[in-house]
Amino acid sequence: MSLRYVSTRGAAPTLGFSDVLLRGLASDGGLYVPERWPEAPLAPDRPYVDLAVEVMTPFLSGEIEAATFADLVSESYTAFGHPEVAPLVELADGLWLMELFHGPTLAFKDVALQLLGRLLQFELERRGERVTIVGATSGDTGSAAIEACRDRPALDVFILHPHGRVSEVQRRQMTTVGSANVHNIAIEGSFDDCQDIVKGMFADESYRSRHRLAAINSINFARVMAQVVYYSAAAARLGGGPISFAVPSGNFGNVFAGYGAMRMGLKVDRLVVGSNRNDVLTRFFHTGRLEIRDVVPTMSPSMDIAVSSNLERLLFEALGRDGQATSALMRELRRKGAAEMPQWAMSRLRAVFSAARVDEEATSRVMAEVYARTGRLIDPHTAVGVGAALECRGDGDVPTVALSTAHPAKFPDAVFAATGRRPVLPERLADLHDRPERLCVLPNDLAAVQRFVADNAGVNA
Ligand SMILES: *Cc1c(COP(=O)(O)O)cnc(C)c1O
């Protein structure tokens, strides 16, 4: 029986993989999850691409031919800067780092987005369709989306960033991509202004359907699917025994994939969630209460979020896959800005999840200590995960794998401030500062951006 997907709010039609891939949010406002978690064979260690094909195939609903899928996966990961794709390095006795930053933009989002871009191109081409991807970025996610979409004939990608308010490395990673289907828009305004414009474009139904707007956001289940793989790879390399993971978390997509891996049969002892000062997740696991607060900027900006969009998937699981209960909880959260999980559901979650908040000072301290002890530079996001691992680690001899989500050279200032060492960009990006940039500066004005997208989408199709 091929796998179908259900909505976390229980009131949308079930779909197969390809429809979930193109759909985004379910029609009832929920997120798609597989109707059951397939079993992953407890794999012996093997090349990453082979493991990836094996772990992901049951999710495809039988809709993509085996050889085609194997090609897409292989192309996605041969472009990585390390032959193991996601190498493990031992940091201290029983504490490992899994480096997820060897992709084109030096952050873990490449692991999923490199495959997602190829899957989208494949499916749209098969249907004879094309879409226009529109997104806003405060710096980090835009480049991963651009690298995922560049040079794919079925896609145009427009990424808005606040003019003059992203770091030079981040800007150049977006603006030096020379592909004709990539469009960078610098908005004369803040990141919130950029987000408001994107929301405005999606809210305008007739504009949206005329230009076939689509998002590449973290709620796409294909991203979760691709992330399950490295949890399996870590377990396979460490011998298949019980293992804990520590994950710096923002939208909860990464660590939810760890939960999925566990549901597929991986022997997971603890899933440790690390938050920065924006600690909605840590408060949730400690109190059972979800509460939206204002976001404060930190040195780990990819985790500066008010509500974690993927958490809904976990709530659905903890509530016994009750779509009505999940829907009621999410409505309450939206209405009151806070909602409470039942205690029985929290007990289920606490059997697996631990959480810790790692503030700015502790993040710097972890970067400094890791450097002093091992000579290794880690980025501030990774440091939040390592800090949480150290705080929540049991005293058993279960190994802990802390996921390293960004290359230190993406956040050179924070790393330098903590360690006195300036991380260098990998060889293949060494000429980043010499490459020509291409971007268009536009006023903070929805109509101006809509016009620009209309004029530039599909002109190279
Ligand atoms: C996006 C991101 C995170 C957070 O991942 P989520 O899946 O949103 O929890 C952590 N670190 C880095 C470097 C990121 O880019």
The answer, yes or no, to whether any atom of ligand 1 lies below 6 A from the CB of 357, is no
The answer, yes or no, to whether any atom of ligand 1 lies below 6 A from the CB of 354, is no
Residue at 155: amino acid letter: L
Residue 129: Cβ-neighbour burial (10 angstroms; 0-12, 13-18, 19+): exposed
Instruction: Please tell me the distance between residue 364's alpha carbon and the centre of ligand 1 in angstroms.
Output: 18
Q: If pLDDT is split at 50, 70 and 90, which confidence band does 395 have?
A: low
Token pair in block for residue 288: 């059972």
Relative to the CA of 382, which ligand 1 atom is closest?
Answer: 11
Instruction: Please tell me the distance between residue 139's alpha carbon and the centre of ligand 1 in angstroms.
Output: 12
Token pair in block for residue 378: 């880690």
Whether 460 shows a pLDDT value over 70: the answer reads no
Nearest protein CA to atom 1 of ligand 1, as residue: 302
Distance CA 4, CA 15 (A): 6
User: Which H or E run contains 142?
Assistant: helix 140-149
Residue 25 pLDDT:
87
Which residues have a Cβ under 8 Å from the Cβ of 305 and sit 6 or more positions away?
250, 251, 278, 280, 295
Relative to the CA of 379, which ligand 1 atom is closest?
Answer: 13
Residues identified as active-site:
109
Average pLDDT of the segment spanning 368-375: 97
Please report, for residues 62, 277, 357, the alpha-carbon distance to residue 362 in angstroms, rounded to integers and kept in the order given: 47, 10, 9
Decide: 206 and 200 in contact? Cβ < 8 Å. no
Whether 106 shows a pLDDT value over 80: the answer reads yes
Q: If pLDDT is split at 50, 70 and 90, which confidence band does 191 have?
A: confident
Tens of pLDDT, residues 215-261 = 887 889 999 999 999 999 999 999 888 999 999 999 999 999 999 99
Decide: 307 and 336 in contact? Cβ < 8 Å. no
The gap between the terminal CA atoms of the chain, to the nearest Å, is 38
Query: In a mutational test of the pocket of ligand 1, which residue from 278, 279, 302, 363 has the highest number of ligand atoms less than 8 Å from its CB?
Result: 302
Alpha helices in 308-445 (DSSP H): 311-318, 323-336, 343-350, 360-374, 380-392, 412-419
DSSP for 78-125, please give it: HTSSSTTSS-EEEEETTEEEEE---STTSBTHHHHHHHHHHHHHHHHH
The answer, yes or no, to whether any atom of ligand 1 lies below 6 A from the CB of 140, is yes
Whether 54 shows a pLDDT value over 60: the answer reads yes
DSSP for 205-220, please give it: HHHHHHTTEE---TT-
Which is it for strands 338-340 and 289-291: parallel, antiparallel or unpaired? antiparallel
Decide: 399 and 244 in contact? Cβ < 8 Å. yes
Tens of pLDDT, residues 411-441 = 999 999 999 999 999 998 989 999 999 999 9
Please report, for residues 3, 111, 216, the alpha-carbon distance to residue 119 in angstroms, rounded to integers and kept in the order given: 17, 13, 12
**Which is nearest to 238 in space by CA: 82, 402, 399?**
399
Nearest protein CA to atom 15 of ligand 1, as residue: 302
The answer, yes or no, to whether any atom of ligand 1 lies below 6 A from the CB of 218, is yes
Longest CA pairwise span in the chain (Å): 60
CATH topology of domain 88-103+221-419: Rossmann fold (3.40.50)
424 phi and psi, to 5 degrees?
Answer: -105, 145
Decide: 24 and 219 in contact? Cβ < 8 Å. yes
User: Which H or E run contains 10?
Assistant: none
Whether 30 shows a pLDDT value over 90: the answer reads yes
Whether 177 shows a pLDDT value over 80: the answer reads yes
Tens of pLDDT, residues 260-313 = 999 999 999 999 999 999 999 999 999 999 999 998 999 999 999 888 889 999
Distance CA 306, CA 300 (A): 14
244 has which bridge partners? 400
**Which is nearest to 191 in space by CA: 145, 138, 259?**
138
Give pairs for 121-128: CB < 8 Å, separation 24+.
Answer: 121/152, 121/153, 121/154, 121/155, 122/64, 122/68, 122/72, 123/18, 123/21, 123/22, 124/22, 124/154, 124/155, 125/153, 125/154
Instruction: Please tell me the distance between residue 300's alpha carbon and the centre of ligand 1 in angstroms.
Output: 9
The answer, yes or no, to whether any atom of ligand 1 lies below 6 A from the CB of 176, is no
The helix/strand/coil state of 307 is: coil
What is the four-CA torsion angle of 160, 30, 250, 97, rounded to 10 degrees?
A: -110
Residue 459 pLDDT:
67
Q: What angle do CA 406, 410, 413 make, to 5 degrees?
A: 120
The answer, yes or no, to whether any atom of ligand 1 lies below 6 A from the CB of 253, is yes
Whether 160 shows a pLDDT value over 60: the answer reads yes
